[in-house]
Amino acid sequence: MSPDTLALVMFGTLFITLFLGHPLAFSLGALAVVFGVIGWGAPPNVVFALFADKTFGVMQNYVLVAVPLFIFMAQMLDASGIAEKLFHTMHVIMGPIRGGLALAVVIVCTIFAASAGVVGATEVAIGLLAVPALMKRGYHIPLIAGSICAGGTLGIIIPPSIMLVVYGSLAGMSVGQLFAAAMFPGLLLSILYIIYISVRCGINPKLGPPLPKEERIYTISQKLKMVGTSLIPPGVLIILVLGSIVAGIATPTEAAGIGATGAFILALGYRKLTWKAVVDASIATFLTTSMVMTLFLGGNAFQSIFMGLGGGDAISDLLLSLKVSPYVVLFIMMGCVFFLGMFIDWLGILLIILPIFIPIAQQLGFDQLWFATLICVNLQMAFLTPPFGYSLFYLKGIAPPEMTIVHIYKGVVPFICLQWVGLITCIVFPQLVLWLPHAIFK
């Protein structure tokens, strides 16, 4: 069997191991060892020596220090109760209009995403608050599920985003430029969700009835005070983190440290800083970071053997040999990412596809910053696509019995379609992605 054929068999075997229920990180590492020995004919100790060298390279990557810092920042924001304050404020302000509480969910998720950059923390925090409130007021259950799942996933694309940090590390790109490029696409998705909810509830008010008059008890001055206390602190934090990167004052890793410190101070200011909150945030950070780094190591091992066997060249030659427009090849690559997102999480996908797709994009003449943003917008869908979308299970884990997995699946389908609309818009109008980084980093 030729090496490139063996590489494709290796890729197919990965799916078999995943369907059998084996963890992705260990599947990647184990397959790397087996196919490294078979394909190279080398003893296992030679393969392990290569993995040790790759592992050392990962551990030396300074940019990756931002990952635990951003995760800790998200956990401390969750502990500070800021999500609760934001949701209560938006509940009061948006509640009187049709679909207002679902709109409040998306707006709060957008603000939280710009503060935290972690999907799980955002979705669980908002879900625990929103699901009972919306179900109590008779909102359509699939609409509730879709709003929370889609809104929660904004944290993976709106800066500061862990996915953008990881992409920058893997591709050797500026994380600051990736942050700037992803800003408008992330906000575009949020606007698309808002328009969709507004139109659906405007046509059929039963899907999202407005708050009854007896619940509209707040004066304008009270509403302004609520906005000030709930929006200004996270707004300052966003400016400190993103502003320091954009202004060139801090690297993404240093900005992550600023964000973690700021979230700690916010928890102190809101009088939610307890020893238990710090310990819980630290443990959650440790567990999540360990998962990410284990995937990194397994993915690097798999990537090394797969590329060494010629798998990347085989796929590249196949796609580049097609007598079609470069944009057809682009949509094939986007389709592959979307398909993988149904079965593998975003980090595993990045580790597998980037060494293959980046050289193809370069040969096709695509702007690498634009292409990177398209990949990241696409990967947001990986959180929503059945059967293994993480957001679906985050919500199911905190949902009451009345909200079934069928409700959740039905609820996310329109939002997946909206994400495709957002992706295609970024393809058709590349300046939506490129204008801000060019304006800032010219």
pLDDT tens per residue, range 9-47: 887 888 788 777 778 788 888 888 888 888 777 677 777
pLDDT at 427: 95
Which two three-digit tokens encode residue 46?
Answer: 């030679």
Mean pLDDT over all residues of the chain? 84
Taking phi over 0 as left and psi of -120 to 50 as alpha, with beta for the rest, 389 belongs to: beta
190 CB contacts (<8 Å, ≥6 apart)?
A: 106, 107, 109, 110, 151, 154, 158
Rounded to whole angstroms, the Cα distance separating 235 from 414 reads 30
Nearest to 238 by CA among 154, 151, 122, 159: 159
Rounded to whole angstroms, the Cα distance separating 165 from 163 reads 5
Rounded to whole angstroms, the Cα distance separating 246 from 441 reads 8
Q: Provide φ and ψ at 366, rounded to 5°.
A: -80, 145
pLDDT at 138: 87
Question: In the chain, what is the greatest distance between 2 CA atoms, to the nearest angstrom?
Answer: 76
HSE-up of residue 290 (Cα within 13 Å, Cβ side): 6
Which two three-digit tokens encode residue 307?
Answer: 């590329």
Count of other CB atoms within 10 angstroms of residue 336: 18
Residue percentage of the chain with pLDDT more than 70: 96
What is the separation, in whole angstroms, between the first and last Cα of the chain?
50
Count of other CB atoms within 10 angstroms of residue 149: 28
Nearest to 76 by CA among 216, 274, 220: 274
Distances (CA, A) of 229 to 175, 216, 219, 276, 331: 31, 20, 16, 24, 45
434 CB contacts (<8 Å, ≥6 apart)?
A: 181, 367, 369, 370
pLDDT at 214: 67
pLDDT at 117: 65
What is the secondary structure of 82-99 as a DSSP string?
A: HHHHHHHHHHHHHTTSTT
Radius of gyration of the chain (CA): 22
Which two three-digit tokens encode residue 229?
Answer: 């206390």
DSSP state of 89: H
Q: Domain spans of the chain?
A: 61-273+309-440
Point out the residues of the chain with pLDDT beneath 70: 1, 4, 42, 116-118, 120-121, 214-218, 442
Residue spans of alpha helices (H) in 117-174: 119-136, 141-153, 162-171
